[in-house]
Amino acid sequence: MEFEIRPYHNTDLSSIYRICLLTGFNGEDATPFLNDPDLVGHLFAAPYAIFEPSLCFVLTIHSKPCGYVLGTSDSIMFSDICEKKWFPELRKRYHLPNKEDDTLENNFLRYLHSKQTQFKWTEDYPAHLHIDILPLAQKKGYGSKLITVFIKQLNYLNVKGVHLVVGKKNQNAIGFYKKVGFQQLKELEESIVFGKKL
């Protein structure tokens, strides 16, 4: 198989949405749990590609995207941009669900409608990332290579640290992050924050 990692191109956006959907349920396909398949991509992929494309890298097989790493060099700045330019339109489209309704989609909707609080770890780990790879490209070393490419770009930008948040149920991802040098920073109710000094 012919894999390649390259910078994001605007024509990759629909593929970014598709990959995010197919890995959006703790690394598994979120399609059965969502009425709108675009929702997970709206939250965790597209705004990075749109607002910070220089930190978006795509893994391809025979030129077709099958994974990505994307993120921001400044989580506080990125949150402000999303609050001004991204979330308002989405909040008009997707209404806040009832508190009792605990489906995956409604958890995503509650995330959309909540103001993203900046936590103390953003001071030492200002960047954050998301990485998703389809099953056909997993366990081949490309996750580590994507992380390396992303961190190289952060180093170029003189960023001092990067963090990420992963669900506790996603044990494969937790093992992967530990393997590539991330340290646990904080345990939350349903997720774990990992960080890496640069």
What are the extents of the domains in the chain? 3-160
Ramachandran angles phi, psi of 123, nearest 5°: -70, -45
* Top CATH class, 3-160: alpha beta
Query: Burial level of 121, CB count in 10 A (0-12/13-18/19+)?
Result: middle
pTM of the model: 0.94
Give counts: helices (H), strands (E), the chain: 8, 7
pLDDT of res. 183: 96
Helix, strand, coil shares, percent, the chain, to 5: 45, 25, 30
Residue with the larger pLDDT of the pair 97 and 146 = 146
Q: Mean pLDDT, to the nearest integer, of 143-148? A: 97
